[in-house]
Amino acid sequence: MELSLILSNYLRRHNMEVIEAEDPYIGLSLLTQHQFDLMILDLTLPGMDGLEMIPKIREQSNIPIIISSARDDITDKVIGLERGADDYMPKPYDPRELVTRIKTILRRTTAEDHKADEVELFRVDKNSRTILFKNKLLDLTAAEYDILAMLIAHKNGSVSREQLLYESEHIDDESSIKNIDVMISRIRHKIALIDKEHSYIKPVRGVGYLLTTHI
């Protein structure tokens, strides 16, 4: 308990809000009452082994878990990670290392959340050949679908006009490169009907276009 208090005070000095729970059942209850960014879990708990607690946590939350334990046993570490913990720190350790590991995990989870948001911005259904933008169906021609789906597949990377022209299944091989510019303009207009504040398809000078979600 004394170490827990020391760590909590140290984390607070690094601008981290901390809620402590000595009893594992109170800890599980707190998960339903608050939105936490990360959990530090000791394995030696009253009434329940910390390794048993991990699956119970995972039943209700994907919160990152750092195991902090005096049980420096490789078996505990392996079991803890297999059951869903994100990191394992055997005691004793420098609190500065704990802060570093917390920040590293939070950077990773933030990046993963951002990536998930990007995926949801444009959703391609290859079976029905439809594209949702911000959960709204875009009214696309077959050729426009081909072009936008290709841009989404190369998200945040440039795609040449030639690639858009020749890899599309629904654009005549004899069409000119200028037709790509016309269709891009139409796709932009249809996207703008849903979001006119941002431009998601940008020209790449001398190359073609790219679709960006980094707005």
Q: Which CATH architecture has domain 2-116?
A: 3-Layer(aba) Sandwich (3.40)
Alpha-carbon span 35 to 44, nearest angstrom: 24
| Per-residue confidence in pLDDT tens, the chain, 215 aa | 577 888 899 999 999 999 999 899 999 989 888 889 999 999 989 989 999 999 999 888 889 999 998 887 889 999 999 999 999 999 888 999 999 999 999 888 777 666 655 557 899 998 899 999 998 999 999 999 999 999 998 888 889 999 998 888 888 766 677 889 999 999 999 999 999 888 999 999 888 999 987 66
Query: So what CATH class is 126-211?
Result: mainly alpha
**Contact criterion met (CB below 8 Å) for 143 and 168:** yes
Q: What's the whole-model pTM score?
A: 0.54
- Per-domain residue ranges of the chain: 2-116, 126-211
Does the N-terminal peptide bond of residue 92 adopt cis geometry, omega within 30 degrees of 0? yes
CA–CA separation, 215 and 130 (whole Å): 23
Summarize the chain as % helix, strand, coil (round to 5). 45, 15, 40
